[in-house]
Amino acid sequence: MLRNTSTWTCLCVIAALSSLLSGCQSPEPETPAEGSGTADAAPENSMEETETVDNDEEVAEGMSVSESGYGKTADGQAVTQFSCTNANGLRMNLITYGAIMTSFDCPDRDGKLANVTLSCPDIAGWEACGSYFGATVGRYCNRIANGQFELEGESYTLAKNNGENHLHGGLKGFDKVIWNGEAVETDEGVGVVFTYTSADGEEGYPGELSVKATYMLNNKDELSIEFEATTDKATPVNLTNHNYWNLAGAGSGTIHDQELKLNSSFYLAVNDSLIPTGDLLEVENTPFDFVDFHKIGERIEQAGGDPIGYDHCYVIDRGEADGMVTAAVVRDPASGRVMEITTTQPGIQFYSGNFLDGTPGSGGFPQYNAFCLETQHYPDSPNQEKFPTTILKPGETYSQKTVHRFSVEP
């Protein structure tokens, strides 16, 4: 049911304040910023000689990061891979193409490691994939209606790469460019700092945007993702990571029996092309209710859509809290793996892999073989005055953080 006006107004005020505190607003500018090609094989990368990064900082015990070649793009650009491990055997691989996480290995209840994200076998596979596997997505993740918006009296036209709408940054978003990558080793963890400068007018967006995406792994079995950005001209910014998760292991089958809990009482109503209508709907007594654990496939046929499934932005219940709050918990009864997500973001897009179809554009994976939980601001915010702002202005710093914590249940 539609929420009443007073509740809606209150939520919008709280969300806007939260956005001001933890989103786009910061008084001082800082330095800017679908498994394998077949569903049953782990990715095999073209590796050159690997070197361990030498760093003057003290490194956390049992942790390491190494760097290697990953081949070249079709237009001849060299791609680098970084491999990060912790003392408990967790390992993440990332590449400079799209600032993509190519794999994430973690143990089940018996200590057996498996890659739990959908991957491609090589750079050619990543270039052929149109499903944003593992990518750092921007300049604006999710959809913008009709590929247009107005800002400070100017009209801007973006690529329409999702029917009549703009999706995930356009024809060549941040997922399709080469980032600069630098390995990082500290006494708390290891990871990679990616940087990219998006030119004024790139994909139709105003302003030169300097972006930094930091991926870190620590010995608490936490994957931390931080985004920062500055601009020289007002522009919409909405960044996310687009990992496709299957806690039973990539290529192991559907995610229908994996159990999801979302810290959300409301989700955004959308039209037939998945653009928000501006209304918030209560999840209670609907197939969208994940306030308590439910199997992802339990009510998926009732979720509607074409193709059928979940592809909706949920409003994270923050109350009076600023900063990091729990957004989601997912557990796989078969393997025992558990993933908890905390974030500074106001929303989280739950996508059940509806559009996966087994083609190269889907990395060879069939429908419902993974889910996405993309922490982000709301879709189409530049055209929705009631939504928390996503406009970044000169002198401000966009800053958002999301942490995935991995564990096992008996």
294 assigned to active site: no
Tell me what percent of the chain is helix, strand and coil, each rounded to the nearest 5. Answer: 10, 40, 50
Question: Quick check: 378 and 268 in contact, CB under 8 A?
Answer: yes
Residues 6+ apart with CB under 8 A from 197: 32, 208, 209, 210, 211
Residues 6+ apart with CB under 8 A from 350: 260, 262, 290, 310, 311, 312, 313, 314, 328, 371, 372, 373
Cis peptide before 307 (omega within 30 of 0): yes
- Which of 360, 357, 353 minimizes the C-alpha distance to 121? 360
Give the SS3 label for residue 55.
coil
The number of C-alpha atoms within 13 Å of 269 and in the hemisphere containing its C-beta is: 9
Distance CA 98, CA 254 (A): 26
312 assigned to active site: no
Q: Which of 242, 312, 377, 404 is catalytic?
A: 242
Q: Which of 67, 203, 222, 374 is catalytic?
A: 374
Distances (CA, A) of 352 to 106, 126, 245, 262, 303: 21, 21, 10, 14, 11
Question: Quick check: 261 and 156 in contact, CB under 8 A?
Answer: no
Question: Quick check: 87 and 62 in contact, CB under 8 A?
Answer: yes
Beta strand spans in 13-141 (E): 51-52, 64-72, 78-85, 91-95, 100-107, 113-115, 136-137
The token pair at 141 is 């993740």
Residues 6+ apart with CB under 8 A from 187: 57, 58, 59, 60
List residues with catalytic annotation: 242, 374
